[in-house]
């Protein structure tokens, strides 16, 4: 049998419960804020003694969690590590030409493709997989030609290393272990860092 409780006692009990819940929520919010402040937001603080900082051509790169960070951009290698992988690349289009337009990528290297998506995906309207016209393609991806209007980056293994622009296509080619370095070199070139 249920005990009969007066309306006054029920309201008092509900108010006590509300005060307890509010106190617990306030405690959680307060200590979450304090923890976030001590963590420093994203955890990247320039000048932190644990982070290596490299200044190259006036750009400050911070080495954090295995990547070189420049503002919102991240790279596996810094400019000094990729400077001598190939001679200066001429004829590449500026990064501004990737802004607010679709970008298509065909890559034989996951890490290189990830870097393109992470960095140029910030300025392009979209980044999607595609296939170069004249090559065997999966049926589910669009076929892109270099003389079309779409920006297309092809990253593939070859015996010799090169980065070249042919109309709207960029070819990043080299040995499998060099493709990430070549991709970073391409990104540094179009961003005006190198």
For residues 157 and 108, the answer to whether their CB atoms sit within 8 Å is: yes
Whole-number Å distance between alpha carbons of 157 and 167: 21
| Confidence category of residue 90, pLDDT binned at 50, 70, 90 | confident
Helices 110-120 and 179-190, packing angle to 10 deg? 20
**Residue with the larger pLDDT of the pair 133 and 63:** 63
pLDDT at 158: 95
pLDDT digits (tens, 9 = 90+) for 2-41: 567 677 777 777 777 677 755 555 555 555 555 545 455 4
For residues 89 and 83, the answer to whether their CB atoms sit within 8 Å is: no
Based on C-alpha coordinates, what's the Rg of the chain? 26
| Confidence category of residue 127, pLDDT binned at 50, 70, 90 | very high
13 CB-near residues (< 8 Å, 6+ apart) = 5
Write the burial class of residue 184 (CB in 10 Å: 0-12 exposed, 13-18 middle, 19+ buried). Answer: buried
The total of other beta-carbon atoms located within 10 Å of residue 182's CB is 24
pLDDT digits (tens, 9 = 90+) for 77-88: 999 999 988 888
| Confidence category of residue 167, pLDDT binned at 50, 70, 90 | very high
Whole-number Å distance between alpha carbons of 169 and 144: 9
| Continuous segment of H or E residues that includes residue 70 | strand 67-70
pLDDT at 72: 92
The arithmetic mean of pLDDT across residues 133-141, rounded, is 81
Choice among 3-7, 44-48, 52-56, 122-126 with the minimum mean pLDDT: 44-48
| Confidence category of residue 149, pLDDT binned at 50, 70, 90 | confident
The pTM assigned to this predicted structure is 0.72
Quick one: what percent of the chain has pLDDT higher than 90? 59
pLDDT at 109 over 90: yes
Write the burial class of residue 174 (CB in 10 Å: 0-12 exposed, 13-18 middle, 19+ buried). Answer: buried
- Tracing tokens 């420093």 back to the chain, one arrives at 40
């Amino acid at each position: 049998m249920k005990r009969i409780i007066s309306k006054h006692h029920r309201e008092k009990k509900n108010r006590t419960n509300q005060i307890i819940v509010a106190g617990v929520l306030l405690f959680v919010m307060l200590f979450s804020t304090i923890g976030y402040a001590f963590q420093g937001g994203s955890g990247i603080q320039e000048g932190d003694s644990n982070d290596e900082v490299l200044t190259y051509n006036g750009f400050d790169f911070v080495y954090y969690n295995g990547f070189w960070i420049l503002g919102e951009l991240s790279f596996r290698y810094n400019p000094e590590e990729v400077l001598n992988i190939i001679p200066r690349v001429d004829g590449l289009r500026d990064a501004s030409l990737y802004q607010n337009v679709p970008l298509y990528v065909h890559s034989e290297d996951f890490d290189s493709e990830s870097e393109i998506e992470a960095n140029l995906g910030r300025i392009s309207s979209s980044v999607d997989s595609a296939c170069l016209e004249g090559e065997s393609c999966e049926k589910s991806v669009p076929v892109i030609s270099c003389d079309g209007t779409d920006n297309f980056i092809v990253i593939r293994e070859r015996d010799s290393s090169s980065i070249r622009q042919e109309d709207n296509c960029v070819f990043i080619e080299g040995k499998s272990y060099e493709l990430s370095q070549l991709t970073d070199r391409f990104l540094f070139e179009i961003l005006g860092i190198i």
